[in-house]
Amino acid sequence: MAKISKTAAKERIELLKKELERHNHNYYVLNSPTISDFEFDLLMSELQTLEKIFPEFAMADSPTQHVGSDLNAAGTLEFVQIPHRYPMLSLSNTYSHEEMAEFCNRLEKTTSRKATYSCELKFDGTAICLTYRKGKLVHALTRGDGTKGDDVSRNVVNIRTIPTVLKGSDIPDEFEIRGEIYMPFEAFERLNAEKADKGEEPFANPRNAASGSLKLQNPEEMKERGLDCVLYHILGENLPFTTHSEAITAARSWGLPTSEYSEIAQSVDEVLAYIEKWDTLRKGLPFATDGIVIKVNELDLQRQLGMTAKSPRWATAYKFKPEQALTPLLSVDYQVGRTGAITPVANLEPVPLSGTIVKRASLHNLDQMQLLDIHIGDYVYVEKGGEIIPKITGVELSRRPADAALPDFPALCPDCGTPLERDEDEAKHYCPNSNGCPTQIKGRFIHFISRKAMDILAGDATIEQLYDKGLIRKLQDLYSLTKEQLLTLEGWQEKSADNFLQSIGKSKSVPFARVLFALGIRHIGEQNAKMLASHYGSLDALMDSPREELLQIDGIGDVMADSIISFFDDIENLATVEKLRDNGLQMAIEESGTSRLSDRLAGATVVVSGNFSISREEMKALVEAHGGKNSGSVSGRTTYLLAGEKSGPEKMKKAASLGVKVISEDEFYSIIKG
């Protein structure tokens, strides 16, 4: 580092502290980092160096002295914060083989003993700490600020690989096991496709998706996210293990998910060989990994080496440098989504990156463009977020052409010319002309006909063709199409027209929950639509619901409630709903096909939660068959909370606070049998 004056050092240290805290907040709390791990680590390294040179400016509140925090701000989300029994620290890291070798050599000099090393893949997810007592899961905490974490037990129990009850013998009375919640690439791609379909901002990488999913308010929605878990560190009093690898082998025998890729290295050379091997092989893994974790295997040596305020001295992480490409930015397009969101997309000189040719990369929004200070003609650095999504991470200013110009972010919608708007709380600009903007209209049709909505046999090209010919403008127009009209269009034959019209006819029997999803209410996804349909039972009841009642439903926050109210305040939307109703679409949950068996639940309102010996839908049908009414949330009007295995903790807590009787599946059968 070049010589720097004390005054300049103090100013630089303060600037670095503010920047690192901001990036920590973006990463841990917002799940929306704006710089890469590598860039973050460079800033942290600079701060550490300056604090060593000028120790008088090294304060206890420095990011070098504590881990980033993922704790929710008070009053934002309903997660209870619980102290960690043992501090949950972060790891030091390096990007250099030489520094890794120095780390191993330094440890052996400190302990005067030859150590062995556990070499493990560093899964790119979000940290979790599970506590088991008497073989049963007590709670699951996030890293939080290292001293306390958010209790996310109600969501963690919905991850299939995490057991609530352990199996086997010799299980300690109580212990903690820590690891990583992660999202495999397949689940990540599916989730982002669904978000794109709803016009929502996709997650930048699987790590952000995993962290965001773990903090969902609705456990049922979290269950659909496809999260997985790997556990790699056991803590407790008087545990009967002498090595780390022995402890992990025992955890695996109890049914806990551990990594199959770990190896024990006998020397520094074997550690470096493991790193070399996985720097190549990781590209074929079904999940994201951003490095290798090296731990001293002997537990007595771990205790001897101890901890710093921020990290253990007996472990470190070797981080893989992200693969980058440098290529010119040719132009920027502005795409209009189904909900009117405007997304800038960079057109690049084609460049190979991580096994594919990258031509385009999302710039997300105007704020991101300004942060990058991006100009047309710039040479830009491109990385793949989680090895999947191309992302521009920086500009090579030394190669900026003299005539490079700032891209003009549009003031008007690129499609219909309507002035764009921007909500104060959102980064995106929107076209408010939802009923007149051609791209938004076609996007609504594409969403409406999709498999998870009305499941009509058509695709984007069909919608484009029907729109261009003036045959569709409103959703209800699909139900007025005739075979004669279709046969006048290019490429249509008798059979294709018949199949298309038959699928439109079948869509009239699609259940109400899917119809609600198909309407395309902004921010209301498939799972939210199911929840609202179950809670209200009909579209009329939902339309008549006041905002305060919407906010009482688990998983419905201010943004969703306002979106629902706004949708049904729109006269054109109401007209569309009535036309769809006239065409025979299901606007209410159909009465159960089960015949009335008794009146033993007459007047009773039942909330069904958890897993049972039969499906939840069958259980709800039994409630109705015996005269009861199903509800999606616990309230003062609830008669019973029918709780199965893995019943929602929040529903249980609310039932207890309201004095609602909680019954098991066996008790339920006793009631309906009289």
CB 460 within 8 A of CB 469: no
22: which residues sit within 8 A by CB, 6+ positions away? none
Top-confidence residue, 614 or 491: 491
Same domain? For 314 and 349 the reply is no
CA distance 343 to 513: 29
Same domain? For 382 and 239 the reply is no
Q: Dump pLDDT digits (tens) for 250-276.
A: 999 999 999 999 999 999 999 999 999
Read off the tokens for 313: 């001295």
Same domain? For 56 and 109 the reply is no
- Determine which of 67-76, 96-105, 526-535 has the lowest per-residue pLDDT on average: 67-76
Same domain? For 409 and 472 the reply is no
Identify the residue whose tokens are 């003609």. 377
580 located within any domain: no
CA within 13 Å, CB half, 642 = 28
Query: By CB neighbour count within 10 A (0-12 exposed, 13-18 middle, 19+ buried), where does 484 fall?
Result: exposed
Averaged pLDDT for residues 470-497 = 95
CB atoms within 10 A of CB 86: 13
Q: What is the DSSP letter of 411?
A: S
Among 122, 223, 319, 620, the one annotated catalytic:
122
CA distance 587 to 541: 10
Same domain? For 626 and 490 the reply is no
Phi, psi (deg, nearest 5) at residue 5? -70, 160
pLDDT bin (cut points 50, 70, 90) of residue 452 is: confident
Instruction: Classify 218 as helix, strand or coil.
Output: coil
Report the mean per-residue pLDDT for the chain. Answer: 87
110 located within any domain: yes
The DSSP secondary structure of 520-563, one letter per residue, reads T-TT--HHHHHHHHHHHSBHHHHHT--HHHHTTSTT--HHHHHH
CB 317 within 8 A of CB 122: yes
pLDDT of 441: 94
106 located within any domain: yes
Averaged pLDDT for residues 98-114 = 91
pLDDT of 2: 56
Q: Answer with the one of 299, 319, 339 that is the final residue of a domain.
A: 319
Same domain? For 95 and 189 the reply is yes
587 located within any domain: no
State which amino acid sits at residue 34. Answer: T
Averaged pLDDT for residues 571-586 = 95
pLDDT bin (cut points 50, 70, 90) of residue 76 is: very low
Averaged pLDDT for residues 432-444 = 92
Q: Dump pLDDT digits (tens) for 128-177.
A: 999 999 999 999 999 888 888 888 988 898 898 999 999 988 899 999 99
pLDDT of 433: 92
CB 532 within 8 A of CB 221: no
Residue 375 has pLDDT above 60, yes or no: yes
Same domain? For 175 and 49 the reply is no
CB 547 within 8 A of CB 533: no
Q: What is the DSSP letter of 258?
A: B
13: CATH: 1.10.287.610
Does residue 359 have an active-site annotation? no
595 located within any domain: no
Q: Dump pLDDT digits (tens) for 305-352.
A: 998 877 899 999 998 877 789 999 999 999 998 888 899 999 999 998
pLDDT of 501: 96
Total domains in the chain come to 5
Same domain? For 154 and 299 the reply is yes
140 located within any domain: yes
CA distance 538 to 535: 9
Torsion-angle region of 219 (φ positive above 0: left; ψ -120 to 50: alpha; else: beta):
alpha
Same domain? For 341 and 416 the reply is yes
Give the structural domain span for 469.
Answer: 434-509
Q: Answer with the one of 477, 509, 541 that is the final residue of a domain.
A: 509
Residue 569 has pLDDT above 80, yes or no: yes
376: CATH: 2.40.50.140
pLDDT of 1: 54
Top-confidence residue, 363 or 423: 363
Residue 578 has pLDDT above 50, yes or no: yes
CB 390 within 8 A of CB 382: yes
Q: Answer with the one of 65, 96, 115 that is the final residue of a domain.
A: 65
517 located within any domain: no
pLDDT bin (cut points 50, 70, 90) of residue 591 is: low
Q: Dump pLDDT digits (tens) for 200-244.
A: 667 878 888 898 888 887 777 777 889 999 999 999 998 999 999
Same domain? For 191 and 170 the reply is yes
pLDDT of 178: 96
- Determine which of 72-76, 82-86, 98-102, 284-288 has the lowest per-residue pLDDT on average: 72-76
Percent of the chain with pLDDT over 70: 91
154: CATH: 3.30.470.30
Same domain? For 329 and 265 the reply is no
pLDDT of 295: 96
660: CATH: 3.40.50.10190
CA distance 348 to 361: 8
Same domain? For 330 and 313 the reply is no
Read off the tokens for 181: 């919640």
Name the pTM for this structure. 0.52
CB 595 within 8 A of CB 625: yes
136 located within any domain: yes
